[in-house]
Amino acid sequence: MRKSAADRFRHLFNRSLILLRHRHHHHPFPSSSSLSPFSRSRFFSSTPFSMASDSPFPVTAQNINPKVLKCEYAVRGEVVTLAQNLQKDLQANPGSHPFDEILYCNIGNPQSLGQQPITFFREVLALCDHPAILDKSETQGLFSTDAIQRAWQIVDQIPGRATGAYSHSQGVKGLRDTIAAGIEERDGFPANPDDIFMTDGASPAVHNMMQLLIRSENDGILCPIPQYPLYSASIDLHGGFLVPYYLDEATGWGLEIPELKKQLEAAKSKGINVRALVVINPGNPTGQVLGEENQRDIVEFCKQEGLVLLADEVYQENVYVPEKKFHSFKKVSRSMGYGENDITLVSFQSVSKGYHGECGKRGGYMEVTGFSAEVREQIYKVASVNLCSNISGQILASLVMSPPKVGDESYESFNAEKENILESLARRAKTLEDAFNKLEGVTCNKAEGAMYLFPQIRLSQKAIKAAGDANTAPDNFYCKRLLNATGVVVVPGSGFGQVPGTWHFRCTILPPEEKIPAIVTRLTEFHEKFMDEFRD
């Protein structure tokens, strides 16, 4: 493994930044230079504009918002489209490929791969959807007593018991009270329900913040590289500037303050107003869990530099190693003595992750602290334009932050479901990590948390040339080959950003545990053949 990727590529960053700016000012597409962290596959694929000039349609790719053209979201990009076509082909012609099913390891979507929902959560949601059955006798036989109690409590928290009404723009006040209490219990510091803005998953919350902060392409947002491409997409859509900071692969994707400072200064010297720092903890796609000391340094950095700390904490329940623990940035800040007026901090949370993985419910919230009343009014106003997030998602967010407790009727079964899932995820992460590390030319850091592994593949010159001949990026080339040979869908590293000249892919740890051995065998066989085929 490389000693310090961040050091080694220090000299490249300035050029990289210049190239990024250049594309911002003149090109709808990112630079193809290998010095940019985003050597995106899109650049190599055939342009979609061939039919545009004589288009019968008033809207063409030439006259839509160039920010839309520019944004990219690789998690559902080209490889996934190929996979969907393969799946249709498999259904139409069974046996036509060397695998029976497509395994979608491209996206953190646990229930799509067979993970079962948490019973207590679903009981409460069903009862809140149809409160008319709450006092029927048959209901006692179908639902646990504490689920019925909780549903009553929630329905009573909704003004007029109107579960089908728009709520307050920030979400139902009673549910925000529950969430704030859950945050207090987690952190040991006060939380204010008026700081909670409930959203349809975490993605709209991230967009809200980017929309608030970005005024022009001269406004920069510090983002980790590799990053979850929601951030690059959202920055592109809002016309801002992504200021990359590199996580150090050699130290387990370490987030180093000198690297932050260097990139901040470099951006400033180019005239970029850096407004915020995005930290994803536990890391996506990188799986690291930050240490508390490191987090203190990050808070201090934001405080000193006047940056908003945008803390993506959606994987807070997903920690798999005993030596690491999740600490929210709010807790860390408050434990340093920094209060509401000292640090501007937004924490994103989602019901899609954790042990429950309720992606389809689109629940989430942001806890917004350290903003003036006048700015908070603006955040509220923008939330109001979309009226409110969905109530089922709001209810689920309150459940996630206030699950059954010791002594509750459902507690034991709830806890068993939860622990089974988390322990299985930990085993799957370890098995896949070990398997990747056994492959020739592959190194893979531990997934301490989150739902992903991000192995580095060292590709031969011959493979890189073959990718070039196929008009695609080397990591994309590898991932497409992998898909065609095994049915396993992973996302090329270029969709997340990577140190220029290195190649990775992101693979979720979510396939059902019983399928993991077969997947490892298939991956290994494919990789050996690939390496042999393209040996220099």
Closest CB to a second copy among 89 and 434?
89
Q: Which helix (H) or strand (E) holds 489?
A: strand 488-489
* Residue 184 sits in the site that holds a second copy (CB under 8 A): no
Cα separation, 479 vs 503, in Å, equals 11
Joined tokens for residue 97: 């490929």
The nearest distance, CB 359 to a second copy, in angstroms, is 4
Closest CB to a second copy among 45 and 437?
45
Closest CB to a second copy among 374 and 536?
374
Q: Quick one: which of 1, 165, 257, 518 contacts a second copy (CB under 8 A)?
A: 165
Q: Quick one: which of 182, 393, 404, 455 contacts a second copy (CB under 8 A)?
A: 393
Q: Where are the beta strands (DSSP E) in 226-325?
A: 241-246, 273-280, 308-312
Closest CB to a second copy among 63 and 521?
63
Closest CB to a second copy among 188 and 339?
339
The nearest distance, CB 382 to a second copy, in angstroms, is 6
Closest CB to a second copy among 131 and 441?
131
* Residue 162 sits in the site that holds a second copy (CB under 8 A): yes
Distances in Å between the Cα of 411 and the Cα atoms of 25, 415, 440 are: 56, 6, 46
The nearest distance, CB 467 to a second copy, in angstroms, is 23
Closest CB to a second copy among 381 and 438?
381
* Residue 389 sits in the site that holds a second copy (CB under 8 A): yes
Cα separation, 301 vs 427, in Å, equals 36
Closest CB to a second copy among 2 and 67?
67
Phi, psi of 405 (to 5 degrees): -115, 165
Closest CB to a second copy among 169 and 472?
169
By CB under 8 A, the residues from 77 to 136 that bind a second copy are 107, 109-114, 117, 119, 122-123, 125-127, 129-130, 132-133, 136
* CB 157, CB 174: distance < 8 Å: yes
* Residue 55 sits in the site that holds a second copy (CB under 8 A): yes
**Segment contacting a second copy by CB under 8 A, of 67-75, 88-96, 321-329, 412-420:** 67-75
* CB 454, CB 444: distance < 8 Å: yes
The nearest distance, CB 280 to a second copy, in angstroms, is 16
* Residue 61 sits in the site that holds a second copy (CB under 8 A): yes
Strand partners, 457: 442
Closest CB to a second copy among 41 and 389?
389
Dump the DSSP string for 123-165: HHHHHHH-GGGTT-HHHHHHS-HHHHHHHHHHHHHSGGG-TTS
Amino acid found at 50? S
Q: Quick one: which of 187, 200, 259, 313 contacts a second copy (CB under 8 A)?
A: 200
DSSP-derived 3-state class of residue 115: coil
* Residue 1 sits in the site that holds a second copy (CB under 8 A): no
By CB under 8 A, the residues from 236 to 265 that bind a second copy are 237-238
The nearest distance, CB 157 to a second copy, in angstroms, is 13
Q: What is the DSSP letter of 319?
A: B
Cα separation, 300 vs 186, in Å, equals 22
Of 411, 365, 416, nearest to 390 (Cα)?
365
**Segment contacting a second copy by CB under 8 A, of 14-22, 44-52, 287-295, 310-318:** 44-52
* CB 193, CB 173: distance < 8 Å: yes
Q: Quick one: which of 1, 51, 257, 518 contacts a second copy (CB under 8 A)?
A: 51
* CB 505, CB 454: distance < 8 Å: yes
Q: Quick one: which of 174, 193, 201, 226 contacts a second copy (CB under 8 A)?
A: 201
The nearest distance, CB 231 to a second copy, in angstroms, is 10
* Residue 171 sits in the site that holds a second copy (CB under 8 A): no
The nearest distance, CB 129 to a second copy, in angstroms, is 4
The total of other beta-carbon atoms located within 10 Å of residue 189's CB is 15
Q: How many residues bind a second copy (CB under 8 A)?
A: 105
Q: Quick one: which of 17, 103, 196, 391 contacts a second copy (CB under 8 A)?
A: 391
Cα separation, 107 vs 489, in Å, equals 9
**Segment contacting a second copy by CB under 8 A, of 62-70, 242-250, 260-268, 287-295:** 62-70
Cα separation, 3 vs 8, in Å, equals 8
* Residue 416 sits in the site that holds a second copy (CB under 8 A): no
Closest CB to a second copy among 214 and 490?
214
Q: Are strands 103-104 and 442-443 parallel, antiparallel or unpaired?
A: unpaired
Closest CB to a second copy among 234 and 445?
234
By CB under 8 A, the residues from 216 to 235 that bind a second copy are 230, 233-234
The nearest distance, CB 230 to a second copy, in angstroms, is 6
Cα separation, 62 vs 41, in Å, equals 21
What sign has the CA pseudo-torsion 48, 49, 51, 55?
Answer: positive
Q: Are strands 273-280 and 364-369 parallel, antiparallel or unpaired?
A: unpaired
Question: Which alpha helices (H) appear in 306-372, and where do they start and end?
Answer: 329-335
- Per-residue contact string for residues 267-296; x = within reach of a second copy by CB under 8 A: --------x---------------------
Closest CB to a second copy among 133 and 250?
133
By CB under 8 A, the residues from 446 to 505 that bind a second copy are none
Cα separation, 504 vs 10, in Å, equals 20
Distances in Å between the Cα of 535 and the Cα atoms of 459, 495, 498, 527 are: 9, 26, 23, 12
* CB 525, CB 435: distance < 8 Å: no
The nearest distance, CB 42 to a second copy, in angstroms, is 10
Distances in Å between the Cα of 415 and the Cα atoms of 410, 418, 419, 422 are: 8, 5, 6, 10
Cα separation, 43 vs 77, in Å, equals 13
By CB under 8 A, the residues from 319 to 378 that bind a second copy are 341-342, 344, 352, 356-362, 370-375, 377-378
